[in-house]
Structure 1
């Protein structure tokens, strides 16, 4: 029997309550490029994540959910300090892993990371991993 190649990530779907608000948030905070989506039903936004695949925002969530920080999406940036300036300019509060407001976690390997929430409360991590 032939061995199958390893699977690759195609996309990540995030269920959101306000598609236009979430589209603006993800597009502006992470500078993501919107890509064509096939449904054209007003309930989806797709963003390119480069070689990692795509991010699909899907309208319809109830915004009364509470999410655990352990279940998060992570994006890497060239400079965490520059990224923090973006968060501050947009009045988006961030914290370190233990939850200290405005703080940065430095992992044992030297990678800096911050955590914050999207408009629906989904946890997001941004780090400067190379």
Structure 2
């Protein structure tokens, strides 16, 4: 009888453990996308596609005002052609991409004539964070700041 009670208790705990994590998972907020308002959609899309080598993904509107790019599993960057002018942006408001090789990205930036900066905004310089991660900053055609670093991610 004792063994039956213990057996049922173990089963009950296992069932509760399997129910509550999935319930909590359903309620959790998850990041989905970032949208940037751009002045020249083709110029901006070309930058993200060719300089940063992001893959395009289908966008549902199909009215010529949007370009979508994959930036991670289930994550996307949406460019929206609705800016009436290019405005100044502060570097601390930025998006960040990690790469396996800072030297390779620098070569690509040089090929496309994109100026890069360290955290002090010195042109042509790469910075190193206190944790050893190398980083640089660039601006897209609309002046949005982008950090690129070599932080080891799950490749």
Q: Normalised by the size of structure 2, how large is the TM-score?
A: 0.79
SS in 2 for 1:97: coil
RCO (CA 8 Å, sep 6+): is it higher in 1 or 2?
Answer: 1
User: How many residues are aligned here?
Assistant: 129
Corresponding position: 1:94 with 2:123: no
Q: What residue is the counterpart of 2:31 in the other structure?
A: 9
**Greater Cα radius of gyration, structure 1 or 2:** 2
Distance 1:62 1:70 in 2: 23
Q: 1:18 aligns with which of 25, 33, 40?
A: 40
Corresponding position: 1:68 with 2:90: yes
Report the Cα offset of residue 6 of structure 1: 2.4
SS in 2 for 1:82: helix
Report the Cα offset of residue 52 of structure 1: 5.5
Corresponding position: 1:40 with 2:62: yes
RMSD: 1.3
Q: Normalised by the size of structure 1, how large is the TM-score?
A: 0.94
Identify, as 1 or 2, the structure richer in helix. Answer: 2
SS in 2 for 1:57: strand
Unaligned runs of 5+ in 1: none
Distance 1:103 1:54 in 2: 29
SS in 2 for 1:88: helix
**How big is each residue's C-alpha offset from its partner over 1:33-89, in whole Å with a ceiling of 9 and x where there is no partner?**
111100001000011112260000000112331100000010110001110000001
Moved over 3 A (4+): 2-5
Unaligned runs of 5+ in 2: 1-22
Distance 1:52 1:110 in 2: 29
Q: What residue is the counterpart of 1:116 in the other structure?
A: 138
